[in-house]
Amino acid sequence: MESKKPLRSAFVDDYVVPGDVVLDLADMTNQTIKLGAGLRQDCDTIQVTSAGRLRLSKPNKYWVENSQKRYIPSVEDTVLGIVVDTKPDNFLVDIKGPSVAFLPVLSFEGGTRRNIPKFEIGTLIYARVVKANSIMNPELSCMDAIGKAAEFGQLKNGYTFETSTGLARMLLSSPTCPLLEALGKKLSFEIAVGLNGRVWVNAPSPSNVILVSEAIKQSESFNRIQQRSMVEKLLAKLA
Partner 1 sequence: MAATAMEHDGGGGAEVVTPGELLGASSSLAAGRGAYADGHSVRASVTGRRRILPPTPGSSDQRSTVEVVGHKAHGAVPQPGSVVIARVTKVMARMASADIMCVDSKAVKEKFTGMIRQQDVRATEIDKVDMYQSYRPGDIVRALVLSLGDARAYYLSTAKNELGVVSAQSIAGGTLVPTSWTEMQCELTGQIEQRKVAKVE
Under the rule (CB under 8 A), what is the footprint of partner 1? 40-43, 102, 131, 133, 135-137, 139
Rank residues 13 and 42 by Cβ distance to partner 1 and give the closer one: 42
Least distance from C-beta 209 to partner 1, angstroms?
38
Q: Are 176 and 139 in contact (CB under 8 A)?
A: no
Least distance from C-beta 55 to partner 1, angstroms?
22
190-195 CB contacts, 8 Å cutoff, 24+ apart: 190/158, 192/80, 192/126, 192/155, 193/80, 193/168, 194/78, 194/79, 194/80, 194/81, 194/95, 194/126, 194/168, 195/71, 195/77, 195/78, 195/79, 195/165, 195/168, 195/169
Rank residues 41 and 229 by Cβ distance to partner 1 and give the closer one: 41
Rank residues 39 and 212 by Cβ distance to partner 1 and give the closer one: 39
> What is the dihedral sign for C-alpha 190, 200, 74, 7?
negative
Q: What is the DSSP letter of 7?
A: P
Least distance from C-beta 102 to partner 1, angstroms?
7
Q: Provide the 10 A C-beta neighbour count for residue 11.
A: 18
Least distance from C-beta 62 to partner 1, angstroms?
16
Whose CA is closest to 176, among 231, 96, 118, 102? 231
Least distance from C-beta 146 to partner 1, angstroms?
19
Rank residues 101 and 183 by Cβ distance to partner 1 and give the closer one: 101
Rank residues 43 and 146 by Cβ distance to partner 1 and give the closer one: 43
Rank residues 61 and 69 by Cβ distance to partner 1 and give the closer one: 61
Least distance from C-beta 51 to partner 1, angstroms?
21
